[in-house]
Structure 1
Amino acid sequence: MADLNDQLDADPWEGDVPPMPEPESDPNEALAQLFVPGGSFVLDVPETPPSVWGSEADVLWAEGEALMIAAPQGAGKTTVAFQVVRARLGLQDTVLGLPVTPGERVLYLAMDRPAQAQRAAHRLFVLDDREFLNDRLVFWKGPPPFDLAKRPEILVAMCERAKADTVVIDSLKDAAIGLSDDEVGAGYNRARQKALTEGVQVLELHHNRKAGTNGGEPNTISDVYGSVWLTSGTGSVISLYGDPGDPVVSFRHLKQPMNEVGPFRVVHDHPSGTSSVQQTTDLIELVRNGGPEGLTAKRAAEDLFETNKPTPAQVEKARRRLEKLHNEGFLLRHNGASKTSAATYYLQMRSVS
């Protein structure tokens, strides 16, 4: 019986291709190779996950976990994705201020408007990169050969065929049809997990709902379009939000492997295809401006999240950032008179030697 690659060689995965065969190896032997001793699985865990994109505990994309960038059309998800691809190829060090670990070869599935993806990539590379790109970057244009939710083995087969250790899926709506259906979401998640298990790092571009649950900016994980299995199977979810072509969009880290990164504003330089982080709220400066009254976590959350009524979760996120500065010796903390009183933070006075 022909193996998977032989079948994929038939008429570049188009037309009537026979069903994929089941593995011919002994099922018991295959299962035995997949079991992991309990001690290794439970105890051999690093303090912070190794990152594809991130630094220490500020991880946007952890190794072995999928990253999803959700955004409305024109908000810059493809622009950011190609900068990550460029860094993954070793041609730049950081994206949005965080380092990217270089990989070996990237497969970019340009399924949604390939011409638009081509223009976005063209802004970042030069003619001198041609030979390098031919060796390290490969594209698939248009819909995949099969619906990835119905044929979960296809994604990892495409990565193996391309000899890629990184795959960018642009976008999920073209990878599987009917993403709001849980059966489709679970089927696609199986395709994603098969690729991750084989050591492929997965970056997915997707869409959020037209408006958030409160009618404004989508800013929760439930605001990502489709079945819950799409976000449940990821390690990290980023939301970019703005109108098509906006030079400045919001960035929110909706699901995190470790620390929450942001929120902040992203500035897109459309002619060059690059992006940068707009000056963000400086908590030390806020404490300094508070003078003798200091700064509470609630007041910090109002500035960080640009709201007069921060949620308890937002206040807690602000408190953790203040605590981090306190533990690093930048701030003093004065606890309230009672357990229900809010702590207040002040600048740490440093001696001048």
Structure 2
Amino acid sequence: MSEHLDPLETGRRFDDGGAFIFNTPTTPPAVWGTGHDVLWAEGEALMIYGGSGVGKSTLAGQLVRALILNDGDVLGYPVAPATGRVLYLAMDRPRQLARSLRRQFHPMHREAISERLVIWQGPPPEDLAVDTWMLSQLCREAGASHVVVDSLKDAAVGLSDDKVGAGYNRARQAALSNGVQVVELHHQVKQRTDGPKGIDAVYGSTWLTAGTGSVIHLDGAPGDAVVKFRHLKQPAETVGPFDVIHDPATGLSEVLDTADPVKLAAAAGQITVAEFAHVLFNTEAPSRNEVEKARRKLDAQVKAGRLEVQERPSETGGKAAKVYAAPSR
């Protein structure tokens, strides 16, 4: 029979069962969200996944800005300010991330950023799925209340292996149990028409998504100005789906409730009638009537001076395409 040791001697932490059950709110407090619309719950990891170039780091940067500056919503939902520093594990193309973040801040914010944002560039000191306390240790050394893991493929090697997935989840849960709020950026499997869909399209072991409280999918092609936002795993109610438009100049994103041709043209550089009809009517194959409605909306913006008509040279040597763009200055 094993000897029962005094917890005070071992330093092990136990929680009172009554407090654990009855002090936990029925609706989780939100790091990002409001009421029952919780995109990122306290004490539960958020994963943002999608293909390359769909705006994962852009969205993460806006969350970082809101956490450290407390100066606005992200996609229309409030973000609770960080109580400590934000640690950003910039393991995937850190220089590109720096350029992305620079769009989202002003030089006047430099002092606040230096005080509240800590960056780790490159791979972690140890594989986080092997040394499952390393993530917590990095957060403790940085004085971080929040951590951005960008991206999971750089945090642990061999994510398709369940042992690796379970090891990383152990690291994630250790950080959460120490009071650190965790957001992760991750990739999807190579898309095929007969391939996995939804949350099953997240690359790697099932333990990666099983251990999260919230999973968001940004669906689109690399460089798309407009991507689909899908909330595939929720701590409370489902948010969306909706279209999100990324502004390449400011690095900010917003929900596109009604297709705004001026914003679309500014985000994409230029837009054709067919491209606008696709967004306006949410269809891959707009009808002739829908195309004409889209054309009239674009032409109205030209008449108002908010857009101008240009020509896009044909890549095959044929007739140039008519496009709409922001007026030349």
Q: Which moved more, 1:243-252 or 1:84-93?
A: 84-93
The DSSP-based 3-state class of the residue aligned with 1:187 is helix
Q: Which residue of 2 aligns with 1:122?
A: 102
- Cα distance in 2 between the residues matched to 1:159 and 1:145: 13
Shift in Å, 1:132: 1.1
The DSSP-based 3-state class of the residue aligned with 1:109 is strand
The DSSP-based 3-state class of the residue aligned with 1:34 is coil
Shift in Å, 1:111: 0.2
- Cα distance in 2 between the residues matched to 1:149 and 1:168: 16
Q: Which residue of 2 aligns with 1:65?
A: 44
Runs (4+) off by over 6 Å: 304-307
Shift in Å, 1:191: 0.6
The DSSP-based 3-state class of the residue aligned with 1:139 is strand
Matched, 1:37 2:41: no
Matched, 1:92 2:89: no
Matched, 1:56 2:35: yes
Q: Which residue of 2 aligns with 1:211?
A: 191
Matched, 1:242 2:220: yes
- Cα distance in 2 between the residues matched to 1:92 and 1:245: 27
Matched, 1:276 2:276: no
Give % identity.
Answer: 57
Q: Which residue of 2 aligns with 1:138?
A: 118
Unaligned runs of 5+ in 1: 1-25, 282-303, 308-353
Q: Is the 8 A contact 1:212 1:220 kept in 2?
A: no
The DSSP-based 3-state class of the residue aligned with 2:104 is coil
Shift in Å, 1:250: 0.5
Shift in Å, 1:115: 0.8
Q: Which moved more, 1:179-188 or 1:124-133?
A: 124-133
Shift in Å, 1:37: 2.0
- Cα distance in 2 between the residues matched to 1:305 and 1:45: 41
Q: 1:146 to 1:33 in 2, by over 3 A?
A: closer
CA deviation vs aligned residue, 1:210-234 (integer Å, no higher than 9, x gap): 226744xx75211111000000000
- Cα distance in 1 between the residues matched to 2:9 and 2:64: 34
The one-letter amino acid of 2:37's match is: D
Q: 1:35 to 1:101 in 2, by over 3 A?
A: same
Q: Which residue of 2 aligns with 1:312?
A: none
The DSSP-based 3-state class of the residue aligned with 2:244 is strand
- Cα distance in 2 between the residues matched to 1:203 and 1:249: 20
Q: Which residue of 1 aligns with 2:135?
A: 155
Residues paired across the two proteins, number: 258
Shift in Å, 1:47: 2.8
TM-score by length of 2: 0.74
Q: Which residue of 2 aligns with 1:256?
A: 234
Q: 1:183 aligns with which of 159, 163, 166?
A: 163
The DSSP-based 3-state class of the residue aligned with 1:193 is helix
Matched, 1:231 2:231: no
The one-letter amino acid of 2:136's match is: V
Shift in Å, 1:207: 0.5
Q: Is the 8 A contact 2:69 2:112 kept in 1?
A: no
Q: Which residue of 2 aligns with 1:336?
A: none
The DSSP-based 3-state class of the residue aligned with 1:99 is coil
CA deviation vs aligned residue, 1:157-185 (integer Å, no higher than 9, x gap): 10011001000000000000000000000
- Cα distance in 1 between the residues matched to 2:198 and 2:188: 10
Shift in Å, 1:71: 1.0
- Cα distance in 2 between the residues matched to 1:151 and 1:119: 31
The DSSP-based 3-state class of the residue aligned with 1:48 is coil
Unaligned runs of 5+ in 2: 260-280, 285-329
The one-letter amino acid of 1:97's match is: G
Q: Is the 8 A contact 1:263 1:305 kept in 2?
A: no
The DSSP-based 3-state class of the residue aligned with 1:199 is coil
- Cα distance in 2 between the residues matched to 1:263 and 1:113: 29
Q: Is the 8 A contact 1:219 1:254 kept in 2?
A: no
Q: 1:171 aligns with which of 148, 151, 166?
A: 151
The DSSP-based 3-state class of the residue aligned with 1:190 is helix
- Cα distance in 2 between the residues matched to 1:110 and 1:33: 33
